[in-house]
Structure 1
Amino acid sequence: MSLRFRLNLLITVVLLMFMTAVGGIVIKGMRTSIQEGVEAATRVTIQLLDTVIISSYQNPEWGYTHDVLRAFLQSLGHVRSNEISLYDIRGQLIYKSPPSRYRADVTPPEWFSHMVMPTEELVNRRIRYGTLEVKSQPGGAIREAWTRLSDLLWVGLGFFIVLNLVVYWMLGRWLRPLNAVMGAISRVEQGDYTTRLTEFRLPEFSRIARNFNQMSTTLQASTEENRKLALIADQTADAIIIHDTNGNISYSNPAAQRIFGYSAEEMIGKSATMLTPPDYQEDLAQNLRALTNKHHIEHYDTQRLARDGRLIDVSLSAAPMVDPRTGEVMGDICSMRDITERKHAEAAEKQLEENRQLTQLIQRHIEDERRSLARELHDELGQYVTAIKTFAVGIANKARTQMPEIEANAQTIVAAANHIYDGMHNIIRQLRPGSLDNLGLSETLRDAVSNWQAQNPTIRFSLNLSGELDALGETLNINLYRIVQESVTNAIRHAQASSIEIRLAMSAAGELQLTIKDDGAGMDICMVDQTSHFGLLGIRERAQALRGSFSLESLPQQGTTIHVNIPKGSQTT
C-alpha cells in the first residue's frame, strides 16, 4: 500500500468520522426540533379544542358538544403533528382526522425514524356524550427532517468525493518527489554512491535532498577511502593480520597467505600460535598482553613459522584496535614484513666487513713485509753490491797498467754490480716506492708515470690530479698507488694501448674518484670471468676494503676504463 493511498485513506477516515459526528449532531438537533414542534402543535391543538368545547357548553343552542366538535374537526381537516379521534358515549369512533399529506412520497428509513421519534403524547378530553382523544403524530415532521437530512447527505457525499479526489491529486503532486527519492535510495542501495537529488520546490523535500546528497557524498568518500584501504591491504607486500581479543585470526591479506603458505579459509578463526614457532610462544603472549593494554609494537624482529615448516624472519609492528565510542580494545592489527633477504644481506654485509677487515689486515702485512724486504734489500744487499763495485774499481785501477786482462774483468764486475744495483732499485721501487712515504701520493704518481714513460716511449701517458691529495693517509695512499700500478701494468702488458690516461680527483663532497683509461684492444666483459683475473680481482678487493666501488667499462677494440670511487668516510682509514 503506497504512502499516497494510506494518507488518502487516513484523510478519508478522519473525514468520515467528522461527517458521522456532524450527522449525529444534526440528527440529535432534528429530534429535539421535532419533539418541540410536536409538543407545541399538541398544545395549540388542545387549546383550540378546549376553546371549542367551552364555547359549545356556553352555547347549548349549537347542539351536542360531540356534534359541534365533529362539525368543527371536519371543517378543520388535518392538524399538523397530531391525530385527533372523537368517540361517542358508547366508545364508537365517530371521527378521525385525515393523515398528513405533507411529503407523502417520502419514506424515511426505519433507523432514522427510530432515532428522531419524539416521546408520544396522548391527551384525552371527556365531553358531553363522548370522548376526545389527541395523539401526537410526528410522521410529517420526520419525513421533512429526512428530506433535509437527505439533501445534506447528498451535499456531504458530493463534498466528500470531491474532497477525496482533490486530496488524492494534491497528495500525488506533493509526494511526486518521493519517486525520485526512492529511486535514488535504490541506486545507493545497489552501490551507486554518485547518485544525487535535484532541488525540490517544497522546503521539506529540499532539505531531504540536501541531506541525502550530503549523505551520498560522505558515503562516496568513505567508500573510496575504504576501497583504497582495501587495495592497500590487498596489494601491499607486507603481511597484514587482524586478531580478535582472544588472539584468533579474523583477517589475513593476500601477502600473508603468500608468505606463510596458508589460504584465508585455513587461517580465519585459528589462533595466532599457528604461525608462531615454539620458542617464540612466550613472546607472542607478551605481545598480546601489551596490545590488550593499548601499547604499540614497532619494528620488532622475530620469526614466524610457514606452512612448510620454514622459519621466516619478519619485522613485526602491531597496534590495538580501539572502539572510538567505548574505548575498549576490540582486537589488534599486525603487519609483518619478510626480512629474510635483509637478514641475508646483513649476514653478507657482516661477512663482507669481516673479509674487508681481513683483506686490509693481509694487505697491511703484505705492505709491511714489502717495506721490510725493500729495507733489507737497500740496507744489506745494497751494501754488498756497493762493496763489490768498490773492490772491482780498486782492482781495475791497480791492474790498469800491468794487467790489462784483470782490469777488463774488473770493469765487467763493476758493470754487473751497476746492473744489479739498478735492478735492485727497481725491485725496491716495486716493493715500496720511497717517495710515497716522503713526498706523498701526488709526487709518487708523477714519478711512476715518468718511469713508465721512460720504459715505454711508444705509449703516451697523461696524469691529471685535482683536489687535496696529500693528506689521505698511508693506507689509502698505498692502495690507490697499487690500483694505479696494477691497472697500468695490465694495460702495458695486454691492451697494446697507445695512450693511457690517469685521473685522480677529490670531489666537492669529499669523494675520491680514480679513473684509468686506455685505448687498447679492450674486451667483452660478458665473456670474461673477472674472478679469474687476479689483477682485476686485486683491484676490486682493494676498493671494497676501502668501502669503495669498482666498475669496469670495456668493449672490443674500444679500450678499457676502470672507475674506483672511495667515499669520504674511508679516507681516514
Structure 2
Amino acid sequence: MTTLRRLKPLSLHTRIGMVLTVLAAILMTTLGVLWVRQTREATHEEVTAAARVAEQWLTVSAAELRAQPSNANRARLLAQIVAVGRIRANALEVIDAGRSWRYLSPPPTYKAGRSAPAWFAALVEPAFAAWRIEAAGLTLVLHPDPSRATLDAWDNLCAMAGWAVVLLSALFIAVRHALEHALRPLGQIMTALDRTGAGCFDTRLPAFPIPELGRLAKAFNGMADRLAQAVDHNVRLESERELDEQVHARLEAERRHIARELHDELAQGITAVRALAGAIAQRTDEHSALRRPAESIIAATNQMQDGVRTILHRLRDAPAPAPGASGTEAALRHYLRIWQQHYPDIALTATFAQNAMPIGEAVLHAILRIVQEGLTNVARHACATCVDVTLRRSGNGKWLELVVADNGGGLAVASRTAGSGLGLAGMRERVRTLGGEFVFEPGTSGGARLGVRLPDIDPAPLEHRS
C-alpha cells in the first residue's frame, strides 16, 4: 500500500492511451473468439472429408476381400494398407478375428513430437466417432485424428497473439504520442493559470487551432481581462480611500482649528459684551430707558453663546445635550419672548401642538434657525402688526410642520423664487439637507406665509456616512 501511494499518478496521455489499448485488446479478443469458432468448424470439415475419402477406399478394398475371401487376399490387403502408411488426418488399425492387432498406422511425421495444449484442443477439436469396416475376418477401424489441424491452429494463434501484442504496443505508443501532440496546449493553459494565480494578470493564451481549446483560451482571456479590471478597480478604490482618509484628517484638523478660534475669539468677545451689558443694567436701575436695552443685549448674548456652543459641539464631533420635551419648548418660547421684547409693536402668537414635543437635536436646531430668520424678515420687511408661529405634527407623527404667517404687505414675485435672498436660500438649503419641504407664499388673508415640513429624525449618521 505504501509503495502504491508513492507511485506517481499516471498522466492524462498515458491514461487515454491505456483506455484505447484496452478497448483494442477487447476487440481483438472478440475477434479471437470468432476465429476459434471458425477454426473448429474448419477442422471438423477437413477431418471429416479426409476420413470419408479413407473410408471409401477401405470400403472398396473390404468389398473385394469379402467377394474372394482367402488368406492370400487378406495378405494382399494388409500389404496395400502398410504401403499406404499414414492416412491424412486419420489413424488406422486392423484387428483379426481373434481380436489381435494386425496393423497400427505409424504416428504423423508432420510437426512430429509436438501437440497443442489440452485446453486449446478442447476448444478447437470437435468430437469424432470411429469408422468400423468388416472385411472377411479382418476389422478395419478408422479413427479421425484432428491433432495436426489443432496444432496448426495453435501455431497460427501464437503468431496472431504475437502480432497483436506488437500492434497493441504500437497503438499505445502512437495514441500517446498523438495525444501528447494534440493536448500540448494544455501545458500552456496550466502555465497561464499558475502565472495568473501568482498575480501576473497580464497573462494571455494564443488562439489554438483545436475548437474546444480555442473556446477555452477565449474564456480564459476574457476572465483574465475582467480580473485585471477588477484589480485595477480595487487599486483605485484603495487609492481613493487613502485620499479620503487624508482629506478627512485635514478637515478634522481644520474644524478643530476653527473651533479653537471661535472659542478663543468670538466666545470671549460675547462674554465681554454680556459683562458690559450686565454692568449697565446694574447701574441703571432707575433709568428704564437704558435698563431695558441692556437686558435685551444680555438676552441676545445668551442666545449667541448658545449658538456658538452648538457650533463648537458640531465642529468637534461631540453631540450637544439633547433637550427633553420641556427643554425643547422652553428654548423656542425663550427666543420668542426675547423677540417680543425687541419688537413690542408686533403682536406675536405662538401655538404649539401637544404632540409637537419632543424634537430631535438636529431638527430643533433647524426649527430655531428658521424661526429666527422668519421673524427677522417679518420685523425688517413685512410692515406687519401681528405674526403667528405654529408648530404641529402630521403624517401619524412622522412629520413636523412649522408655519410663520404675518399680516404684512405680502411678497413680490421675485421673493418666491429659489435663491431670492440669502436668508431664504439658507432656509431652503437647511430644509433640503434634512429631507424636508419648504414653501414661501402669500398668506390666505394677506401678508406672507412661511411653511416648513421636516421629518423628525437625526441626520447625524447620514452626515457621517457621506
Q: Normalising by the residue count of structure 2, what TM-score does the alignment of the two structures yield?
A: 0.49
Higher helix share: 2
Which has more radius of gyration?
A: 1
Higher strand share: 1
Q: Normalising by the residue count of structure 1, what TM-score does the alignment of the two structures yield?
A: 0.41
Higher relative contact order (CA 8 A, sep 6+): 2
